[in-house]
């Protein structure tokens, strides 16, 4: 059984350099007493003079001072002398108290050092029970010693960072397996104690302190429910969540920095349901979601910066259902969706920025079904859709900006079935449609702007079948339709504007089969290339404007 290595003595070094609260430096006793007597004598002389003046005898050599007045002066003088003695006694008592406090502080420091050393030695024991005792002793010391709390936390986290021994075979070596399970319980106890002290109602909270879980293996779960991360730096970088249930439900990230960079979620369940991200920075950059289930249901992103940059979703299930993005910035830049299921169903985008720029959708399923985009900015600019399915079915775009600028659609499916575009801006400008299917079947364009300006349609299929164009602007200004199929089969144009100015119809198929033109404006005026015009366009219809002159 491995002993705790010689790391712990290194961790104790800050103890000798710790800046504990020091007593205020005292003036030398003789000087302090002399100054006190001088000040007291001056005060006494001043009182006597004031008394004499008050008795009508400012000129002592020629004044008439009666017996009664003289007795009054004597009384005052005696009172002043008594006061001087009292002041001297106070000075002596004050110095005695401060010296006692300094001695008590030294004793406390010595006691804390002894408790720390004892607990550290217990952590190095071969016996699991002794290690458990050392863990509880360190936690108790951290509660009692605010000045050394961070150091105690560092030791507990350092123990967790030590790689665990591989699990022995229970049948071939039951003794070793029993010892392994006991040591596993030691690690679980540390996690449990830290989580209990991060609870928002903890009797002695450890909020605001640094916690370093770099590379820690969470194979037996952890419960950070209702934890409060309000400051300091909390690091789960490279941590492995491979079993059990790790819960951050209803936790609050309101300050400091929390890092899940390069963390691996390969098994078990990780729950961030109901979490509030309101300040600070939380990063999942480079994290790998390859198994198990990770849930963000009901989380609130109202501030701070949350980054999933270059994360990989290759298996398992990650759910953001019911999340509210109302402020701050959430980055999914460079994320790879290559398998499994990622759900944003029912999400509310009402403010801030949510950025999927340069994300890659190559397999699996990503769902934004019933999501609400009412404010802020959601960006898929530069994203690559090469496989799998991305769902926006029933989504409502009622404000803000949703950007697919320069996105590449080369495979898979992107489905907007029954979505509603009533306000704000949705932009596919400069997007490239070279494969796969983008489906707008049953969508309602009743307001706002949807732009395909300078987009390139060279392969694949973009379907507006059964779409209702009843308001707003849908613009294909400068779009190049050179291949693939763009279908407006059964679409209804009753209001609003569909604009093909400067578009290039040079190849592929653009079909208006069964389309109904009852109002609004569908304009092909000013097209740049009409060599492969759309098929099934009527010669004339309400609101339909064909090119005014033949084009090559």
pLDDT at 40: 63
Task: Please state, in angstroms and rounded to a whole number, the distance separating the CA atoms of residues 157 and 210.
Answer: 10
Q: Which two tokens stand for residue 481?
A: 């339709």
Task: Please state, in angstroms and rounded to a whole number, the distance separating the CA atoms of residues 400 and 428.
Answer: 15
Q: What is the phi/psi pair of residue 481, to 5°?
A: -110, 95
pLDDT at 251: 94
* Average confidence (pLDDT) per 10 residues, the chain, 552 residues: 41 40 53 64 65 54 59 67 69 70 72 91 92 96 94 96 88 88 93 96 95 93 92 93 91 90 92 88 93 89 89 92 89 93 92 92 94 93 95 94 96 96 96 97 96 98 97 97 97 97 97 95 95 94 86 53
Task: Please state, in angstroms and rounded to a whole number, the distance separating the CA atoms of residues 38 and 514.
Answer: 110
Q: Which of 178, 138, 129, 142 is nearest to 159 (CA)?
A: 138
For residue 110, what are the β-bridge partners? none
pLDDT at 48: 61
Domain boundaries, given as residue ranges, for the chain: 7-161, 207-476
Residues 6+ apart with CB under 8 A from 516: 490, 491, 492, 493, 494
Q: Which of 380, 389, 382, 439 is nearest to 412 (CA)?
A: 389
What's the pTM? 0.75
Instruction: List Cα–Cα distances, 254 to 173, 277, 301, 344, in angstroms.
Output: 48, 6, 11, 23
Q: Which two tokens stand for residue 59?
A: 């000129």
In the chain, DSSP finds a helix count (H) and a strand count (E) of: 7, 39
The answer to whether 409 and 434 have CB atoms below 8 angstroms apart is: yes
User: Taking the alpha carbons of 327, 328, 330, 333 in that order, is the dihedral positive or negative?
Assistant: positive
Q: Which of 323, 306, 304 is nearest to 254 (CA)?
A: 304
pLDDT at 15: 40
Going by the DSSP 8-state scheme, the letter that residue 9 receives in this structure is: H
Q: Which two tokens stand for residue 266?
A: 């390969």
The answer to whether 402 and 427 have CB atoms below 8 angstroms apart is: yes
For residue 445, what are the β-bridge partners? 421, 469
For residue 360, what are the β-bridge partners? 336, 384
Task: Please state, in angstroms and rounded to a whole number, the distance separating the CA atoms of residues 185 and 163.
Answer: 14
The HSE-up count of residue 488 (CA atoms within 13 Å, CB side) is 18
Strands 492-499, 211-212: parallel, antiparallel or unpaired by DSSP? unpaired
- The continuous run of DSSP H or E covering 153 comes out as helix 149-161
Give strand ranges (E) for 121-236.
211-212, 217-218, 222-223, 228-229, 233-235
The answer to whether 318 and 284 have CB atoms below 8 angstroms apart is: no
Q: Is 54 helix (H, G, I), strand (E, B) or coil?
A: helix
pLDDT at 19: 41
- Residue 307 CB coordination number (10 Å): 22
Task: Please state, in angstroms and rounded to a whole number, the distance separating the CA atoms of residues 107 and 113.
Answer: 10
């Amino acid at each position: 059984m491995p002993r705790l290595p010689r790391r712990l003595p290194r961790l104790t070094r800050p103890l000798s350099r710790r800046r504990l609260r020091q007593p205020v430096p005292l003036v030398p006793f003789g000087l302090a007493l002399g100054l006190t007597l001088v000040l007291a004598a001056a005060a006494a002389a001043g009182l006597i003079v004031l008394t004499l003046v008050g008795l009508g005898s400012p000129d002592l050599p020629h004044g008439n001072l009666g017996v009664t007045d003289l007795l009054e002066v004597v009384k005052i003088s005696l009172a002043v002398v008594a006061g001087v003695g009292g002041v001297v006694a106070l000075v002596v008592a004050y110095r005695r108290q401060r010296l006692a406090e300094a001695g008590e502080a030294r004793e406390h420091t010595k006691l804390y050092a002894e408790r720390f050393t004892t607990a550290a030695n217990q952590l190095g024991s071969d016996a699991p029970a002794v290690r458990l005792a050392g863990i509880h002793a360190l936690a108790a010391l951290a509660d009692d010693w605010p000045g050394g709390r961070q150091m105690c936390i560092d030791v507990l986290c350092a123990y967790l960072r030590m790689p665990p021994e591989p699990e022995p075979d229970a049948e071939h070596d039951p003794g070793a397996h029993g010892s392994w399970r006991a040591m596993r319980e030691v690690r679980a106890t540390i996690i449990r104690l830290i989580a209990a002290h991060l609870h928002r109602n903890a009797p002695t909270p450890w909020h605001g302190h640094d916690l370093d879980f770099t590379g820690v293996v969470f194979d037996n779960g952890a419960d950070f429910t209702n934890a409060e991360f309000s400051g300091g730096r909390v690091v789960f970088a490279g941590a492995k969540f491979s079993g059990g249930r790790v819960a951050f439900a209803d936790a609050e990230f309101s300050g400091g920095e929390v890092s899940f960079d390069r963390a691996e979620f390969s098994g078990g369940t990780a729950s961030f349901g109901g979490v509030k991200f309101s300040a600070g920075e939380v990063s999942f950059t480079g994290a790998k979601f390859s198994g198990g289930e990770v849930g963000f249901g009901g989380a609130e992103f109202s501030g701070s910066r949350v980054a999933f940059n270059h994360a990989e979703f290759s298996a398992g299930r990650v759910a953001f259902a019911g999340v509210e993005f109302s402020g701050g910035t959430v980055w999914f830049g460079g994320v790879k969706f290559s398998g499994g299921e990622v759900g944003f169903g029912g999400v509310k985008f009402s403010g801030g920025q949510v950025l999927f720029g340069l994300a890659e959708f190559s397999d699996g399923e990503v769902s934004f079904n019933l999501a609400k985009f009412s404010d802020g900015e959601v960006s898929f600019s530069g994203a690559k859709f090469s496989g799998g399915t991305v769902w926006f079915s029933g989504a409502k775009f009622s404000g803000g900006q949703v950007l697919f600028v320069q996105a590449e659609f080369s495979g898979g499916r992107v489905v907007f079935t029954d979505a509603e575009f009533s306000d704000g801006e949705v932009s596919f400008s400069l997007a490239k449609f070279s494969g796969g299917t983008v489906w707008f079947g049953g969508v309602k364009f009743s307001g706002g702007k949807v732009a395909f300006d300078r987009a390139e349609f060279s392969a694949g299929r973009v379907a507006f079948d059964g779409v209702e164009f009843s308001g707003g602007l849908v613009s294909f200004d400068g779009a190049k339709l050179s291949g693939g199929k763009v279908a407006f089969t059964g679409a209804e144009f009753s209001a609003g504007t569909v604009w093909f100015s400067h578009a290039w119809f040079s190849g592929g198929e653009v079909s208006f089969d069964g389309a109904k033109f009852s109002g609004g404006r569908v304009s092909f005026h000013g097209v740049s290339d009409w060599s492969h015009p759309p098929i099934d366009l009527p010669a004339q219809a309400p609101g339909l404007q064909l090119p005014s002159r033949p084009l090559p």
